[in-house]
Homo-oligomer: A and B are copies of this chain.
Amino acid sequence: MGKLREPLDNIHSCGLPVALEVMGERWSFMILRAAFNGVRHFEDFLGVLGIARNILSNRLARLVEYGVMQREPLPDDRRKIAYRLTDKGYDLLPALIALRQWGEKHGLGVAANPVLCDARDGEPIAPITIRSHDGRVLDVRDLEWRMRGEAREEAMAAAL
């Protein structure tokens, strides 16, 4: 990283604490993983996750409260509830996959199976990377902090 250091005490202008308020607990990610795989009902989450009933109930309520999932009564039996990911929930997929790929690369010791693939050509997806606005892959050494406003202005000045 470059010269400017992010002001670490000013957590109200960083998105990370906000994200961790919602997702900073391992069960939240495991529930999300199950939801991405099509699990919809309380009893099914309970079965696939091996999570305690009260913890699942608490975590689902929190994910609904934060708008990551929504509760939908089923049309044929309105006492039954389906939990579905919202668009805000689907937006967590890059973070989830990046964590998963890190675990595969560094912790697993065996190749993950099944593999997440592009449906169009059947090839495994690429590793999640950090990229510039025009698509170049960036390394930590290519990054620096800039104050908002300064970023674009300097780039424009350089282009003149």
Contact = CB atoms under 8 A, between A and B. Distances in A.
Interface of A: 1-2, 4-9, 12-26, 29-30, 33-34, 36-39, 48-50, 66-67, 88, 90-108, 110-136, 138, 140, 142-148, 151-152, 154-155, 158
How many copies of this chain are found per oligomer? 2
A125 B133 CA distance: 5
**Is chain A's binding surface mostly helix, strand, loop or mixed?**
mixed
Given A25-B25, A37-B8, A18 B146 contact: no
A45 to B, nearest CB: 9
A75 to B, nearest CB: 23
B19 A99 contact: yes
Contacts of A105: 15, 91
